[in-house]
Structure 1
Amino acid sequence: MNELRQTGDRAVMTEVVLPGVVEPAGLQVRRRPVPAPGPGQVLLVMEASGVSFAEQQMRRGKYFDQPPFPFTPGYDVVGTVASVGPGGDAALLGRRFAVLTKTGGWASHLLVPAVDLVEVPAGVDPAEAETLVVNGITAMRMLHRVARVRAGRTVLVLGANGGVGSTLVQLARHAGARVIGTASLRHQAAVRELGADPIDYRTPDLTSAVRKIAPEGVDAVFDHIGGEGIVASFRLLAPGGTLVSYGTASTRDVAGSSKWPVLKLIGRLQLWNALPNGRSAHFFNIWAGKRRADAFRDRLRADLTEVLTLLADGAITSRVAARVPLSRAADAMTLAESGTVTGKVVLVPDAARDGSGDNGDNGDHSA
């Protein structure tokens, strides 16, 4: 990974920049002065920032609405408030918060709006909390606000060993639902430990395998794969069932427009909803409703607070696949894309470089 240094008299920060469509090794590490927060902002010292499917798509230039290159990735972050802007609330200083950022999280310091802060419960490890920011909000909303899963229902989670998938499994089990989860053979023991009935996603006839467990079909399918496989997901629904699509992983490495696979998928779901089939299909976008900013923040804060409280209470667990120093973001991206890990790869501070204290690195840079 290329490192570009920039120093001055002020304290300096580290950020990872995505300069264009590059392999992980093409990520750049830059140094620049730590910025001062303006009105309504706080300066957050990063303690953990995740490596998710969104960043994997962004480096390929295939995330639906990513900003123009160059930019700093980082969809979510957990950190401690170091300073507040003019007129800001001094009570925020020194407290740990989670923030959904979409971009900018892969930095040792970042400016965020104070109104976007969601407090992390005392005693919760920042890396563990980080794995449940975007994953937890996504899983909570899809399960309860879209599919409205209740006790006694049966749901199918594709990729049950992944970040969103493993959270979905736990939240569905906590709600009293039965869960069928697809995963590779190497991850099935972990999926079973979460409380799901595992199925090898490479089985020649996935439909028959699911029907053996749920002969009448399932009440909800959570599908992050998209592509032509979405047809099989819809056909697995029981009468009155709900399909929730939240990604197009099957097209990750396909050349061409980043928008077309998503638009094609949404069009197909809308067509199914127009037909009298007794089932419903939805595309989940975590940013839907953001134009109503206050209501969006209130719902986000409520959902994330609930997820983090469940984590603090031990009702659900967090799976940190690896903690990798920020300056080794290329290694973190490579690991996250390898398909060999269970849970989420998390970036943590380079303490020696930024002088920000213990980086929480447990030395586990691979799964």
Structure 2
Amino acid sequence: MRAFQVESHEAIPSLTTLPKPQPTSGQVLIKIAACGLNFADLLMIKGKYQDTPPTPFIIGLEIAGTVEALGPGTDGPAVGTRVAVYAGQGGLAEYGCFAANRCVTLPDNMSFNDAAGFQIAYGTSHVALDHKARLQPGETLLVTGAAGGVGLTAVEIGKLMGARVIACARGADKLEIARQAGADHLIDATSEDIREACKALGGLDVVYDPVGGEQFKAAFRACNPGARVIPIGFASGDVPQIPANHLLVKNIDVIGLYWGGYLKFRPEVLTDSMCTLFGWYAQGHLRPHISHVLPLEQADEALELLRQRKSTGKVVVTPT
């Protein structure tokens, strides 16, 4: 099979040919139809992600495809079942063996491309806004990086949960995509003062921030008393330092979230969230935005779209 593999953290990943894997006990063999890319893939290539596997490894955290075989003693899902899997690695390949208990059966109306980019982005936003921030109808939510993979889902879910959503992104084209996802107010990060724009709108009750850096600092300073701030990631490359005295004075909560980490200590949080999200999709409430779909032989170009922030929503690679 063909696979896009990291040989070392100093080398550029490359397309290579490997033996087709065989599932062991507790695993299923999946013929991969689509792989959703994430910013974490870029970090894994450099060995800077918290769950980077030892080299060599195949990148690609989340996939969708069809079960082709079961490992010894594995009960299901049955051969032929359409599934999505948060795998952690192995997605940029034609086949992969994954834990059967991580497979989620797809709604009949969900395409493989939608499914491949669904779990991490929507799961992160839903757990952040519902389980962590306890977002309430009528509250004001700011989403930075609002046209990106996770940001756009936060706009969509925040609106679905009844919040007033402020979307912050770079440039008119990206802001228009956020508006179409449900944003009530738009802030152009390239030309507007984020703090002043948010304060003029009455301040912030919840901040969802995958960017970090100056945008985090501006949003933090626009928070209302009792606000909740959720650092999702640091796409700017700048991890902000949080002034603890401001937390004290304004009774602000800063809430960390690593979505994948729940698999290790409270997997039911993710399971319950996925049930809600797939239900919303089946009912037509969620509409994943995929800006680019590229074949496996252009995986390096797909990753470069993320690196250069030229994508909106998700980038998907189709191995077969």
Q: TM-score scaled to structure 2, two decimals?
A: 0.92
**Deviation of the 1:288 alpha carbon:** 3.0
Q: Which amino acid aligns with 1:251?
A: G
SS of residue matched to 1:182: strand
**Deviation of the 1:70 alpha carbon:** 2.6
Aligned to 2:281: 311
Q: Assess if the C-alpha contact under 8 Å between 1:241 and 1:279 holds in 2.
A: yes
Aligned to 1:291: 264
Identify the match of residue 48 of structure 1 among 29, 34, 53: 34
Larger of the two Rg values belongs to structure: 1
Q: Assess if the C-alpha contact under 8 Å between 1:118 and 1:305 holds in 2.
A: no
1:206 and 2:191 matched = no
Identify the match of residue 270 of structure 2 among 274, 278, 300: 300
Identify the match of residue 3 of structure 2 among 10, 15, 38: 15
Q: Assess if the C-alpha contact under 8 Å between 2:224 and 2:250 holds in 1.
A: no
Query: In structure 2, do the counterparts of structure 1 residues 201 and 86 end up closer, same or farther at CA, with 3 Å as the change threshold?
Result: same
Q: Assess if the C-alpha contact under 8 Å between 1:76 and 1:105 holds in 2.
A: yes
Moved more, 306-315 or 124-133: 306-315
Deviations 1:150-173 (A, max 9, x none): 111110000111111111111111
Query: In structure 2, do the counterparts of structure 1 residues 243 and 274 end up closer, same or farther at CA, with 3 Å as the change threshold?
Result: closer
Q: Which amino acid aligns with 1:66?
A: T
For 1:273 and 1:43, how far apart are their aligned partners in 2? 51
**Deviation of the 1:132 alpha carbon:** 1.4
Alignment of 1:132-211 (within 5 A): 132-183=118-169, 184-196=171-183, 197-211=185-199
Q: Which amino acid aligns with 1:79?
A: G
Deviations 1:88-121 (A, max 9, x none): 2255210111111121211111111111111111
- Structure 2: unaligned runs, 5 residues or longer: none
SS of residue matched to 2:127: helix
For 2:281 and 2:26, how far apart are their aligned partners in 1? 29
Q: Which amino acid aligns with 1:250?
A: S
For 2:19 and 2:257, how far apart are their aligned partners in 1? 38
**Deviation of the 1:310 alpha carbon:** 1.4
- Structure 1: unaligned runs, 5 residues or longer: 1-12, 253-260, 351-367
1:322 and 2:292 matched = yes
Q: Which amino acid aligns with 1:195?
A: G
Q: Which amino acid aligns with 1:72?
A: I
1:69 and 2:55 matched = yes
Q: Which amino acid aligns with 2:237?
A: T
Aligned to 1:358: none
Q: Which amino acid aligns with 1:190?
A: I
RMSD: 2.0
SS of residue matched to 1:208: helix
How many residues get paired? Answer: 318
**Deviation of the 1:229 alpha carbon:** 4.0
For 1:126 and 1:270, how far apart are their aligned partners in 2? 44
Q: Assess if the C-alpha contact under 8 Å between 1:336 and 1:344 holds in 2.
A: no
Q: Assess if the C-alpha contact under 8 Å between 1:97 and 1:120 holds in 2.
A: yes
Query: In structure 2, do the counterparts of structure 1 residues 273 and 97 end up closer, same or farther at CA, with 3 Å as the change threshold?
Result: farther
SS of residue matched to 1:347: strand
Deviations 1:125-146 (A, max 9, x none): 1111222110011010001011
Q: Assess if the C-alpha contact under 8 Å between 2:29 and 2:96 holds in 1.
A: yes
**Deviation of the 1:276 alpha carbon:** 4.5
Q: TM-score scaled to structure 1, two decimals?
A: 0.81
Query: In structure 2, do the counterparts of structure 1 residues 236 and 194 end up closer, same or farther at CA, with 3 Å as the change threshold?
Result: same
Aligned to 1:278: 251
SS of residue matched to 2:260: coil
Deviations 1:46-71 (A, max 9, x none): 11111111112222333234223332
Q: Which amino acid aligns with 1:283?
A: G
Deviations 1:270-296 (A, max 9, x none): 94697353110012111334333xx41
Deviations 1:5-53 (A, max 9, x none): xxxxxxxx22111223468xx3211212212211111101111111111
Query: In structure 2, do the counterparts of structure 1 residues 90 and 170 end up closer, same or farther at CA, with 3 Å as the change threshold?
Result: closer
Query: In structure 2, do the counterparts of structure 1 residues 272 and 310 end up closer, same or farther at CA, with 3 Å as the change threshold?
Result: farther
SS of residue matched to 1:92: coil
SS of residue matched to 1:288: helix
Aligned to 1:359: none
1:124 and 2:85 matched = no
Aligned to 2:307: 337
Q: Assess if the C-alpha contact under 8 Å between 1:150 and 1:176 holds in 2.
A: yes
Q: Which amino acid aligns with 1:17?
A: Q
**Deviation of the 1:80 alpha carbon:** 0.9
